[in-house]
């Protein structure tokens, strides 16, 4: 069955109906354009008024500094070294990955300052008002899993450091195979995170502003301490690569690169959740460019240098910063490390793993779920999933978890970028993003072309997923054997395939031409 629908996109020169544009190109809706009883809107999903779009370059840079400085980021280099790279190869891989992922981040982030809309509302332009729940729920599921990982790691850090201060914590009676004191630290840390985000985005902005420099100081203090204690940075910096730069290196490098890209590919989708508060494009472009690749590269270098010093002092490389900090007997030093771990983990977990699913779940049922309710649901689901098992081995963490996630999220990013930049040339009808029956209604709220592009791109990206014998959940020959060669490039394959297919499917048609 076919149906004739409004044109897929407004003419780039056509005025945007029922919207006002200021001299900086920022668009907002006059009051009352979206009915109060709309099934597709609530106060958290409506565009941010221009007067409230005031995040500066510093706010965005501080956001990225706060998110990048966390324990899993610190451990990225260790995972690559474990796979056989030397420290230079590991830092190079991380730096290149973050330069690459910055590009789609800036492209999808453009819609934030211009229209003031979050990620699930932007996805309505390409997937449809109802279809946007597909990418939104995928993004929310990934965020819930990451929330659980980060909260468990943060709880472990508190447990280790408090146990060092008070002693005897590890000998407490066990529940579910873990000391009850560890579960207590986990629950308290979980509650603290949700308490902060429950106060809203302005509280998050203020928290990130002072958390970012504090965490940088904490990392530098750890570097100075271990360097003084070691009398130098130790032998790890002289350790040669087990892979070299030849035939053995590249089969490890490319899937590792995709894994490092996947680490922040989540934010390349929902970055409009933050940029919608931006004072303009300059703020989000410069803030993200200064904040993401530089911070991740610096943090990778710090982790290598500190770990090298630990090898000189203790005779073995200690990659976990919490475990390393716990080796000091200075109470002040332990307390400082405890506060740093708290702030660093809260900073990334709230910004990266609670904000997005809160909006995504609100998009699912705007009348029942607001931002705060979505955040609470995220907290509960993040615990129920028990995703900390994903970090058990570097193979499982980098190749399976990050690789699979990257492939699917890259596919969604390709469709968003194709629709917003190529098909619509950044021109959206803001009111129709909330209006059933408008130009983004497609077929009963779903755009079949976007769904098809996602399905094809997703299969190409992750269909060949494979695991070494005994190292993961996938068959050795891949889920779909002939796609196995593509699995090591999942994020890039998914993004490119979905982008090209979506553009091909939405090429301009004569007026009145039937939909798919």
pLDDT digits (tens, 9 = 90+) for 350-380: 777 888 888 888 888 888 888 888 888 888 8
Task: Say what the pLDDT of residue 272 is.
Answer: 94
Instruction: Kindly tell me the burial class for residue 39, based on how many C-beta atoms sit within 10 Å of its own C-beta (0-12, 13-18, 19 or more).
Output: middle
Identify the sign of the CA torsion 252, 257, 263, 269. Answer: negative
Residue 30 region by backbone torsions, left for phi larger than 0, else alpha for psi between -120 and 50, else beta: beta
Residue 456 included in any domain: no
What distances in angstroms separate CA 51 from CA 113, 276, 281, one per listed residue?
11, 12, 15
pTM for the full predicted model: 0.82
Q: Which pLDDT value is given to residue 257?
A: 87
Taking alpha carbons only, the member of 243, 356, 296 closest to residue 75 is 296
Residues 6+ apart with CB under 8 A from 392: none
Query: N- to C-terminal Cα distance for the chain?
Result: 9
* DSSP letter assigned to residue 474: S
Where do the H-state alpha helices sit in 69-130?
Answer: 71-82, 87-109, 111-115, 119-127
Residue 20 belongs to some domain of the structure = no
Query: Can you read off the two tokens belonging to residue 321?
Result: 């910063």
Position 511 scores a pLDDT of 34
What are the structure tokens assigned to 218, written together?
A: 């904490």
Is residue 58 in some structural domain? yes
Q: Please list the residues that pair with 28 across neighbouring strands.
A: 20
Q: How far apart are CA 409 and CA 259, in angstroms?
A: 12
CATH code for the domain in which residue 241 is found: 1.10.4160.10
In a domain? residue 433: no
Residues in the chain: 516
The reply to whether 294 falls in a domain is yes
- Which DSSP category does 55 fall into? B
Question: CA 58, CA 322: separation in Å to the nearest integer?
Answer: 29
pLDDT digit string, tens, across residues 166-194: 777 777 788 777 788 888 888 888 888 88
Q: Give the pLDDT of the chain (516 residues) as one tens digit per residue.
A: 333 333 444 444 444 456 788 888 889 888 778 776 678 888 889 999 999 999 999 999 988 887 887 777 777 777 787 778 888 888 899 999 999 999 999 999 999 999 999 999 999 999 999 999 999 988 888 888 788 888 888 888 888 878 877 777 777 788 777 788 888 888 888 888 888 777 766 676 677 777 778 878 888 888 888 888 877 777 667 766 677 787 888 888 888 888 788 778 888 888 999 999 999 999 999 999 998 999 889 888 888 888 777 777 887 777 777 777 777 777 777 778 778 877 878 877 877 788 888 888 888 888 888 888 888 888 888 888 775 565 555 555 555 665 677 778 889 999 999 999 999 999 999 999 999 988 999 999 999 999 999 999 999 988 887 776 766 677 778 788 888 888 778 888 999 999 999 999 997 543 333 344
Please indicate, yes or no, if residue 27 is contained in any of the structural domains: no
What is residue 168's DSSP assignment? -
Query: If you search the block for the tokens 């779009």, which residue do you land on?
Result: 53
Give CA–CA dist 371/340, Å, rounded.
Answer: 28
Q: Report yes or no: 133 and 45 within 8 Å, Cβ to Cβ.
A: no
- Residue 226's nearest CA partner among 324, 151, 83 is 324
pLDDT score for 200: 64
Q: Is 259 exposed, middle or buried (0-12, 13-18, 19+ CB in 10 A)?
A: buried
* Residue 179, H or E segment: strand 178-179
Domain of 131 in residue numbering reads as 35-390
Tell me, what's the pLDDT at 360? Answer: 87
What is the DSSP code (8-state) at residue 254?
Answer: H
Number of compact structural domains in the chain: 1
173 assigned to some structural domain = yes
In a domain, 77, yes or no: yes
User: Is residue 220 classed as helix, strand or coil in its secondary structure?
Assistant: helix
pLDDT of residue 78: 74
């Amino acid at each position: 069955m076919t149906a004739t629908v409004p044109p897929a996109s407004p003419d780039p020169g056509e005025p945007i109906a029922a919207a006002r544009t200021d001299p900086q190109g920022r668009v907002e809706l006059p009051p009352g354009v979206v009915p109060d009883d709309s099934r597709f809107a609530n106060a958290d999903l409506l565009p941010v008024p221009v007067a409230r779009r005031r995040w500066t370059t510093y706010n965005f840079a501080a956001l990225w500094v706060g998110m990048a400085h966390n324990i899993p980021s610190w451990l990225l280099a260790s995972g690559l070294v474990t796979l056989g790279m030397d420290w230079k190869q590991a830092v190079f891989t991380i730096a290149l990955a973050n330069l690459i992922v910055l590009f789609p981040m800036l492209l999808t982030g453009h819609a934030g300052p211009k229209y003031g809309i979050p990620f699930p509302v932007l996805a309505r332009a390409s997937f449809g008002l109802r279809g946007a729940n597909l990418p939104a729920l995928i993004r929310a599921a990934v965020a819930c899993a990451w929330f659980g990982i980060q909260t468990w790691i943060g709880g472990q850090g508190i447990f280790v450091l408090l146990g060092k201060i008070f002693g005897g914590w590890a000998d407490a009676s066990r529940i579910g195979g873990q000391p009850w004191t560890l579960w207590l630290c986990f629950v308290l840390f979980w509650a603290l995170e949700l308490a902060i985000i429950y106060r809203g985005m302005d509280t998050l902005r203020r928290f990130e502003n002072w958390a970012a420099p504090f965490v940088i100081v904490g990392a530098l203090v750890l570097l100075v301490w271990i360097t003084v204690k070691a009398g130098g940075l130790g032998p790890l910096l002289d350790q040669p690569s087990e892979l070299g730069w030849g035939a053995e290196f590249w089969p490890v490098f490319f899937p590792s690169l995709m894994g490092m890209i996947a680490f922040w590919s989540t934010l390349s989708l929902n970055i409009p959740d933050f940029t919608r508060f931006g004072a303009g494009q300059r703020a989000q472009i410069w803030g993200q460019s200064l904040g993401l690749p530089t911070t991740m590269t610096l943090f990778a270098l710090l982790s290598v240098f500190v770990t090298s010093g630990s090898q000189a002092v203790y005779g073995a490389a200690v990659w976990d910063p919490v475990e390393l900090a716990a080796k000091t007997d200075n109470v002040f030093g332990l307390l400082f490390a405890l506060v740093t771990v708290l702030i660093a983990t809260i900073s990334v977990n709230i910004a990266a793993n609670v904000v997005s699913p809160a909006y995504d779940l609100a998009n699912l049922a705007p009348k029942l779920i607001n931002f705060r309710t979505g955040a609470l649901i995220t907290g509960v689901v993040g615990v129920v999933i028990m995703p900390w098992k994903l970090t058990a081995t570097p193979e499982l963490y980098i190749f399976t978890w990050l690789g699979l996630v990257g492939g699917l999220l890259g596919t969604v990013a390709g469709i968003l970028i194709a629709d917003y930049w190529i098909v619509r040339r950044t021109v959206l009808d803001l009111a129709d993003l909330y209006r059933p029956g408008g130009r983004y209604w497609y077929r009963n709220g779903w755009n079949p072309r976007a769904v098809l592009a996602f399905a094809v791109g997703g299969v190409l990206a992750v269909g060949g997923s494979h695991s070494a014998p005994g190292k993961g959940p996938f068959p050795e020959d891949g889920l779909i054997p002939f796609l196995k060669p593509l699995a090591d490039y999942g994020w890039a394959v998914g993004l490119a395939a979905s982008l090209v297919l979506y553009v091909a499917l939405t090429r301009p048609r004569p007026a009145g031409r039937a939909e798919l």
